[in-house]
Structure 1
């Protein structure tokens, strides 16, 4: 439910923009408002489950997600909808790390635990794959509001099932204090930077408001680094980044999800507002990416278990970079028939890279830091999504006419401008992915062979557990 909520909403954006009404900036915030909360609170919420009880905190997360969905679905204007999305974002921040810790606590046998985590990963992969198609079907059948409202009855069912079937689990014996300063600084930093990038077109890049947002965001992130180095129980142990492999896997996670969310969101908009497809047709067209990702995931786990993680990750990044550059063939007249196979190749690279990315991140650090390493990688991925939506939007919407009505099919001139801007974003992204692949090869070689090439079958089975 929480993973699908990003891709599910992407195909509903044109209808939301037309009905409320909402401009292009508002539509970007519908996606980013959710991901910002999710990314900035992920690590802290994982600690909350260990301290206050995993079952109780997990149930609270489900309740918040359902409540936010209700607020967004009933919103009479864009402001309440954005508030609902922020409340919704608390759900995955709590539920995703909580669900993994519950699985780890319930299964003592390593093989059973690996199987359970594999099923968890499959659920995430399927959700990402079918999200656009399901969202399109809902929008065409009953309207965009049910993209949010469908989570309410599902959430109630999940609450009842969780109360009934999840046993009461003991709290962690470790009583680390909350690093509220770190949480506040990362939240302010990520939100200000995203605000500056998204709002820069409307207010002007040199306006006092945008410059202030950039300065405050950068200062908050710099202060976070300084504070985390001084305290004894940091939110993120920055010493983890001393390992070249750990750094490489996190850079890869940031770049891959930056490109992934940009393509999902703005190709959904392209197919509806430029190519003129219905919501369900656009969802099915974009879903070729997610389906390829879901199919390749198990293969990636097998390759990591047999060959190690570094080469599958490098090959996956090269495929992603080349597929992104292949999408430069996009024109205003491109249809689903000419697009689906390029998106499928992109999804193939995504599926191939996620498992080794997780395996490298965890195996590059000591066992006691494995949980934090996993949480950091997931948070970095979500930050990549936040900035991906913002930056792709800057290029895609940057040259549309001021009279363009968001939610309706673009004029020929605006369609060409949208595609032109999107192609610039794709060019920059494709080059960035290929540079990341080369950087990874260099950093992997700098690590000691006995640690850098570690990858156990158990790690391989955990393939996309935070994806």
Structure 2
């Protein structure tokens, strides 16, 4: 089956939106010290400028994708672009930390509407097969490149124009995406009339994902045993149970639970979760090592992390061709095997080594992501009927922030526990990478303990990569994809 004649513009618009969102997610971290100084806020408080965005984004993804199946993906996408662009302009004019956090939450809502429909729009423009896989590869490469360039772009904007421009730069790009979407974004006609929207399910989904993500984000700072963390975790699990009960009983549910009878659908969601844990979940601790212990600036750190980003940029667009020659299970297993080996290599980090010790591992981590991410997105779309592509897009994207938060929390617990066991008096300083507060003979001990903790964390991440290999081979089945291809 040939692609839609309007597929090219659709892909360009969606890829540009992915760059816009990914840059925004990675760029803000660089500017936090400058924002804190101008707005007279503590850095801890301003972390909610990041967390508020993440929570809104994560909570709305599933609902945005599912609702778009009923009311139109193009309409939800365009609404998301308008909300995100307007909120970006507002962030650039923020006069108080609370205002910035509020505008960032609105930004996250707009981002969820964009990303929750992005892959479904690609699925509508490109039928299952090589064309779709190549398009998804381009989409992955665009997001990967933006993630790697975020710290560099952020550093340049903050140093030259000031921190407000990290938000204002979104406005012309957002307007460009909006104009393209209004004029050229293609969405095939729905095969059936707009269905009833599951309002109760949507509310439960948003509340469930918000509380679970909140608990995971708060746990590293407040502790897993704190009353707030435990309360949110329990609330999230109760809401998850209620959500499941409601979804089973509704034919117009936000999430079709019947999809979980398909082993490949279960497998792709588990792998999406694991992939995010293995990549963005451990990234903060690699950055602590590069900046805190080795003393590299944010710009220098961003340049070194290009070793991970460039393979994604180069290899991801080729994933479509590889997908035609290899079964999805084999390609995914190869990607996670690369991730596994990458972390084994990075586990060699020691107190006297420089950043090049991690170079082979960073390259292999990028290769693994380039091999795994495009097939994951493609399989998520191929395994469901076309009319539920928005639901699949929203759900698979939901596991990205959830996986990141889980990875940061889990690896943080391992990292901090290892340091606390050996240097309890300095655990807080070292876990935050504050080597400037350590001097004399204690510095060598601190470097040993810190790199030992990082090595242990990398070994656990390698085990997660091995689990990804096993899931790829056991659950991803070619026969689950055949009906979807025929239907498409």
Instruction: Give the TM-score normalised by structure 2.
Output: 0.79
Structure-2 change in CA distance of 1:195 and 1:441 (3 Å) = same
1:375 aligns with 2:394: yes
Instruction: Report what 2:24 is aligned to.
Output: 5
Structure 1 residue 314: Cα displacement: 0.7
1:411 aligns with 2:437: yes
Structure 1 residue 198: Cα displacement: 3.5
Instruction: Report what 2:247 is aligned to.
Output: 228
- The C-alpha deviation readout for 1:195-238, integer Å capped at 9, x for no partner, is 33443455454343332122111111122222211222111112
2:214 to 186, 195, 210: 195
Distance 2:335 2:36 in 1: 35
1:450 to 463, 476, 479: 479
Q: Pairwise mapping of residues 177-188 of structure 1 onto structure 2 (< 5 A)?
A: 177-188=196-207
1:124 aligns with 2:143: yes
Distance 1:167 1:441 in 2: 36
- The C-alpha deviation readout for 1:114-140, integer Å capped at 9, x for no partner, is 776665444334323423332333334
Structure-2 change in CA distance of 1:103 and 1:7 (3 Å) = same
Structure 1 residue 91: Cα displacement: 2.4
Contact 1:8–1:132 (Cα < 8 Å) also in 2: yes
1:141 to 150, 154, 160: 160
Contact 2:132–2:320 (Cα < 8 Å) also in 1: no
Instruction: Report what 1:462 is aligned to.
Output: none
1:175 to 168, 171, 194: 194
Distance 1:353 1:441 in 2: 13
Contact 1:199–1:210 (Cα < 8 Å) also in 2: yes
Contact 2:342–2:365 (Cα < 8 Å) also in 1: yes
- My pick for the range that moved more, 299-308 or 252-261, is 299-308
Distance 1:409 1:141 in 2: 28
Contact 1:134–1:283 (Cα < 8 Å) also in 2: no
Report the secondary structure of 2:193's partner residue. coil
1:313 aligns with 2:342: no
Distance 1:181 1:420 in 2: 48
- The C-alpha deviation readout for 1:167-192, integer Å capped at 9, x for no partner, is 89867743222223333323323332
Instruction: Report what 1:88 is aligned to.
Output: 107
- The C-alpha deviation readout for 1:68-123, integer Å capped at 9, x for no partner, is 32343444554333323221112221123445555566679998777766654443
Report the secondary structure of 1:262's partner residue. coil
Distance 2:275 2:219 in 1: 24
Distance 1:113 1:309 in 2: 14
Distance 2:340 2:126 in 1: 38
- The C-alpha deviation readout for 1:311-338, integer Å capped at 9, x for no partner, is 1111111111221232223346554433
Stretches of structure 1 lacking an aligned partner (at least 5 in a row): 460-467
1:330 to 319, 343, 349: 349
Structure-2 change in CA distance of 1:169 and 1:377 (3 Å) = closer
Structure 1 residue 165: Cα displacement: 4.7
Distance 1:78 1:332 in 2: 38
Structure 1 residue 252: Cα displacement: 0.9
1:350 aligns with 2:369: yes
- The C-alpha deviation readout for 1:345-377, integer Å capped at 9, x for no partner, is 101001111222233334444555455334322
Structure-2 change in CA distance of 1:208 and 1:147 (3 Å) = same
Instruction: Report what 1:42 is aligned to.
Output: 61
Report the secondary structure of 2:400's partner residue. helix
Stretches of structure 2 lacking an aligned partner (at least 5 in a row): 1-19, 421-425
Report the secondary structure of 1:236's partner residue. coil
Structure 1 residue 264: Cα displacement: 3.4
Count of paired positions: 455
Distance 2:254 2:298 in 1: 41
Structure-2 change in CA distance of 1:190 and 1:114 (3 Å) = closer
Distance 2:360 2:437 in 1: 27
Structure 1 residue 258: Cα displacement: 1.6
Structure-2 change in CA distance of 1:314 and 1:171 (3 Å) = closer
- My pick for the range that moved more, 128-137 or 225-234, is 128-137
Structure 1 residue 277: Cα displacement: 1.7
1:438 aligns with 2:457: no
Contact 2:133–2:378 (Cα < 8 Å) also in 1: no
